[in-house]
Amino acid sequence: MNDGTLLHSSGDISLDEWNGVAVATQTDDSALYLELDGWAGPLDLLLDLARRQKVDLRSISILALVDQYLDYIEQAEALKLELAADYLVMAAWLAYLKSALLLPKDEQEEPSAEELALRLQLRLQRLGAMREAAARLMARDRIGRDVFLRGAPEGLEIARRTRWRCDQFALIEAYGRVKARTAPAVHMVRERPVMTLESAISRVSAMLGVTLEWRQLEDFLPPHADPQLRRSALASSFVAALELARLGKAELDQDEVFGPLRLRRPQ
């Protein structure tokens, strides 16, 4: 069973008309459901029926259309087809519309049956227009069916290329940085600074001020780990001690040759 047995036997509406449109697939299961067979709902069915009147949708007879629809539904029920509820709702509404249309005008309720019929007609026109438009659209020269694009386009490749920025100075500076960072030659720093005589004098005299005891010269040296600087400090402090002794600000004492040199504040 398919839609053809009911409607298309009369043959004036062929689904072939729908160029490029698939007929809803017809499986045995779907045969029981009208809406799956050919019509997308009652309005769609009505439109098909209306078209069978072979007149412009603007001049269809709504009364005739209602009869056709109700006949159709009756036939379907006789064949024990299971109809979707909205087809039956539409049938009931159309039956009401028909009876209203048959009433004399002054007995009609608001909105009048004519108005209801007009609305229905307008809806059918709109659906009809879109169906036709769909068919015309599908019939156009379509890519992949009627016209073809280049089979193997080379493609427009947009290679994102990075342009690296770097200038001469940055380059040379970088080399300097590397050399400065790693080359052992970089240790050729200037001579270690010495402890000046002035600072030795001020340091030694300041320290003599806080003690009366004899103290070894080494005790007056600043606490440096660096042996080179220490030696310089020793020399400066020795000269400072001699100078302070000459000025009478210190007393020097040495017990033996090369023995420890001691000094203290004059008593």
Near another protein in 15-54, by CB under 8 A:
18, 20-24, 40-44
Residue 44 CB, nearest approach to another protein (Å)? 7
Q: Which residue lies nearer to another protein by CB, 78 or 170?
A: 170
Alpha carbons within 13 angstroms on the beta-carbon side of residue 241 total: 25
Query: Where does residue 169 rank: exposed (0-12), middle (13-18), buried (19+ CB within 10 A)?
Result: exposed
Q: Which amino acid is at 116?
A: L
CA separation (Å) from 187 to 71, 152, 175, 183, 230? 111, 66, 17, 8, 20
Instruction: Map the footprint of another protein across residues 183-242, applying CB under 8 A.
Output: 186-187, 189-190, 193, 195, 199, 222, 224, 229, 233
* 251-254 sheet: strands from edge to edge: 215-216, 261-264, 251-254
**160 counts as binding another protein under rule CB under 8 A:** yes
Residue 213 CB, nearest approach to another protein (Å)? 25
Binding another protein (rule: CB under 8 A), the pick from 28, 29, 106, 157 is 157
**161 counts as binding another protein under rule CB under 8 A:** yes
Q: Which residue lies nearer to another protein by CB, 3 or 263?
A: 3
Helices 113-138 and 62-78: crossing angle in degrees, nearest 10, is 80
Q: Which residue lies nearer to another protein by CB, 210 or 225?
A: 225
Asked if residues 63 and 100 have their Cβ atoms less than 8 Å apart, the reply is no
Residue 251 CB, nearest approach to another protein (Å)? 26
- Within 10 angstroms of residue 67's Cβ, the number of other Cβ atoms is 14
Residue 266 CB, nearest approach to another protein (Å)? 27
* Of 60-68, 75-83, 101-109, 173-181: span binding another protein (CB under 8 A): 173-181
Q: Which residue lies nearer to another protein by CB, 229 or 242?
A: 229
Give every CB contact of residue 228 below 8 A, 6+ residues apart in sequence: 192
Q: For another protein, how many residues bind (rule: CB under 8 A)?
A: 83
**Local structure of 254: helix, strand or coil:** strand
Give every CB contact of residue 113 below 8 A, 6+ residues apart in sequence: 97, 100, 101, 103
**182 counts as binding another protein under rule CB under 8 A:** yes
Residue 114 CB, nearest approach to another protein (Å)? 10
Instruction: Map the footprint of another protein across residues 76-135, applying CB under 8 A.
Output: 86, 115, 118-119, 122-123, 125-127, 129-135
Residue 259 CB, nearest approach to another protein (Å)? 28
